[in-house]
């Protein structure tokens, strides 16, 4: 426990915790979208279990550092492109994320009858399985980043636990907000498709800075929040105009 007296370890803990929260944004959005198809009384349980699975996945990957680092070594060669285990997981995970997000968008736009019946028929276990699959993909880069930033595995595990606790506290508010605003849900699904393309591109060796992706999402979200506030303002103005004739009479 000598790291407790090491200032650089505490700095690494703070930096890594913040980074884990940022890297977990796409994960919590995906979880919020998936549990939105569950009965309302199961949604919070699904969010907490989903984030718990994410934390467990990251800790297990950290405890298997030799295996994780081995994923960066080439598995086989296709022409001049060396395919690693990390590449394979990113490609498969990215394609799964694209398919799942596209499927959810289709259900939102076309499957109106299905969307009414889905909360009753959605299997809780199946939802957790899908969350677990994508957790592995989202956790992989997070763990590799953690290994590069911190020298003590205790620091990495504490940072992961702290970041997941923060996300658990924010999960219900984010999920309820997404459920209340269909346009935000559509924006979130579009963002997940973009993340899926990014993961797939990285799997094929493309260098795609995630900062651009998160900036685009934050900008789009900011614009949509302004639109929501503008719609509420117009709705209040219309209600006031409707009340005025009656008040005068």
Q: How far is CA 4 from CA 1, 7, 63, in A?
A: 6, 8, 20
pLDDT confidence of 117, banded at 50, 70, 90? very low
Task: State the pLDDT at residue 217.
Answer: 77
3 state DSSP class of 184: helix
**pLDDT value, residue 14:** 79
Q: Retrieve residue 71's tokens.
A: 């994923």
Distance CA 43, CA 92 (A): 27
How many whole angstroms separate alpha carbon 191 and alpha carbon 105?
Answer: 12
C-alpha 130/C-alpha 226 separation (Å) is: 33
Task: Tell me how far apart the alpha carbons of residues 78 and 204 are, in angstroms, rounded to a whole number.
Answer: 11
Which residue blocks in 63-123 are alpha helix, DSSP H? 65-70, 85-109, 112-121
3-class SS letters over 1-69? CHHHHCHHHHHHHHHHHHHHHHHCHHHHHHHHHHHCCCCHHHHHHHHHHHHHHHHHHHHHHHCCHHHHH
The average pLDDT across 81-90 equals: 77
pLDDT (average), residues 196-203: 84
Calculate the dihedral angle through the C-alpha atoms of 92, 95, 100, 102, rounding to the nearest 10 degrees: 180
Is pLDDT above 70 for 208?
yes
Question: 114: pLDDT confidence band, cut at 50, 70 and 90?
Answer: very low
Structure tokens at 149: 């930033």
Average pLDDT over the chain, rounded to an integer: 75
Read off the pLDDT of each residue in 111-129 and give the average, rounded to a whole number: 59
Of the candidate ranges 47-51, 124-128, 209-213, 242-246, the one whose mean pLDDT is the lowest: 242-246
**Residue range 161-191, pLDDT digits in tens:** 888 888 888 888 887 887 777 788 788 788 8
Structure token pair of residue 49: 């279990």
Q: Evaluate if residue 119 carries a pLDDT over 50.
A: no
| pLDDT above 70 for 127 | yes
pLDDT tens by residue, 25-75 = 777 778 888 887 778 788 888 888 888 888 888 888 777 765 665 666 777
**pLDDT band at 118; cut points 50, 70, 90:** very low
Which one, of 163, 173, 139, 149, lies nearest residue 62 by Cα? 139
Cβ atoms of 164 and 55 closer than 8 Å: yes
pLDDT of residue 239 exceeding 80: no
At 247, is the pLDDT very low, low, confident or very high (cuts 50, 70, 90)?
low
Is the pLDDT confidence value at 98 over 70? yes
Q: How confident is the model at residue 121 (pLDDT cuts 50, 70, 90)?
A: very low
Which carries the bigger pLDDT value, residue 158 or residue 110?
158
Task: Band the pLDDT of 225: cuts 50, 70, 90.
Answer: confident
| pTM exceeds 0.75, yes or no | no
Taking only Cα atoms into account, the Rg of the chain, rounded to an integer number of angstroms, comes to 21
Residues 6+ apart with CB under 8 A from 94: 137, 195, 196, 197, 198, 199, 200, 201, 202, 203
């Amino acid at each position: 426990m000598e790291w407790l007296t090491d200032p650089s370890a505490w700095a690494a803990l703070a930096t890594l915790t913040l980074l884990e929260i940022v890297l977990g944004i796409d994960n919590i959005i995906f979880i919020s979208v998936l549990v939105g198809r569950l009965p309302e009384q199961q949604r919070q349980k699904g969010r907490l279990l989903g984030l718990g699975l994410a934390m467990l996945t990251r800790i297990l990957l950290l405890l298997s550092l030799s295996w994780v680092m081995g994923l960066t070594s080439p598995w086989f060669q296709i022409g001049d492109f060396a395919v690693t285990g990390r590449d394979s997981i990113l490609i498969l995970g990215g394609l799964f994320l694209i398919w799942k997000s596209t499927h959810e968008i289709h259900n939102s736009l076309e499957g109106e009858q299905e969307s009414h019946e889905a909360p009753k028929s959605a299997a809780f276990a199946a939802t957790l399985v899908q969350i677990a699959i994508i957790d592995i993909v989202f956790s992989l880069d997070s763990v590799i980043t953690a290994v590069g930033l911190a020298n003590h595995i205790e620091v990495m595990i504490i940072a992961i636990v702290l970041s997941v606790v923060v996300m658990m506290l924010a999960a219900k508010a984010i999920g309820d907000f997404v459920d209340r605003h269909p346009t935000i849900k559509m924006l979130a699904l579009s963002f997940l498709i973009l993340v899926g393309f990014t993961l797939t591109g990285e799997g094929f060796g493309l260098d795609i800075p995630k900062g651009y992706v998160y900036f685009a999402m934050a900008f789009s979200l900011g614009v949509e929040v302004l639109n929501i506030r503008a719609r509420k303002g117009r709705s209040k103005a219309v209600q006031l105009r409707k009340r005025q004739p009656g008040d005068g009479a």
